[in-house]
C-alpha cells in the first residue's frame, strides 16, 4: 500500500500562473487534509474534507480551492499564484475510528517567483 501520495515533488511557478497539487490515498480514509508548512511556523490547515463531496475551509484557505469527487483523491488548486504561496504543502488523511492519527504524504515544495 502506498498510503498517501503527492505529485509533483517540486514545482516552480511564475506569479499569476495556476496549478493543481495532486493527492491520492489508498487507505480508504474519509478525512483528508491539506497543510502548508512555512519555516518556524509549523503546519497550517488550508482545507479539509470529511468525505467524498464534502469540503471545508481550514485556518488559511485564501488563494486555494479543493474538490473531493472520490474518496481517493483530494486535489488542491492554486488559481493565481503569489509569492506568499511559496511553501511546502502536505496532504494527510485520517480514519474515523476515533484514533485521530493523521498519515502524511511526502510533500510538495512550491516556489512562486
Partner 1 sequence: AQSVTQPDIHITVSEGASLELRCNYSYGATPYLFWYVQSPGQGLQLLLKYFSGDTLVQGIKGFEAEFKRSQSSFNLRKPSVHWSDAAEYFCAVGANNNDMRFGAGTRLTVKP
Choose which of 1, 28, 62, 99 interacts with partner 1 (CB under 8 A): 99
Q: Judged by CB under 8 A, does residue 27 bind partner 1?
A: no
Check whether the bond before 8 is cis (ω within 30° of 0): yes
Q: Which is nearer to partner 1, 17 or 22 (CB)?
A: 22
Least distance to partner 1, CB of residue 80, Å: 27
Q: Are 36 and 43 in contact (CB under 8 A)?
A: yes
Residue 30 phi, psi (nearest 5): -75, -40
Q: Is 56 in the site for partner 1 (CB under 8 A)?
A: yes
Q: Could you say whether residue 28 binds partner 1 (CB under 8 A)? A: no
Amino acid at each position: 500500500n502506498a498510503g498517501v501520495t503527492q505529485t509533483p515533488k517540486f514545482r516552480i511557478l511564475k506569479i499569476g500562473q495556476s496549478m493543481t497539487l495532486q493527492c491520492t490515498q489508498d487507505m480508504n480514509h474519509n478525512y483528508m487534509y491539506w497543510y502548508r508548512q512555512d519555516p518556524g511556523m509549523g503546519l497550517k490547515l488550508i482545507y479539509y474534507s470529511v468525505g467524498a463531496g464534502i469540503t471545508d475551509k481550514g485556518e488559511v484557505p485564501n488563494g486555494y480551492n479543493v474538490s473531493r469527487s472520490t474518496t481517493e483523491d483530494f486535489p488542491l488548486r492554486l488559481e493565481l499564484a503569489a509569492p506568499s504561496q511559496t511553501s511546502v504543502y502536505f496532504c494527510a488523511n485520517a480514519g474515523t475510528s476515533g484514533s485521530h492519527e493523521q498519515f502524511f504524504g511526502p510533500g510538495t515544495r512550491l516556489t512562486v517567483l
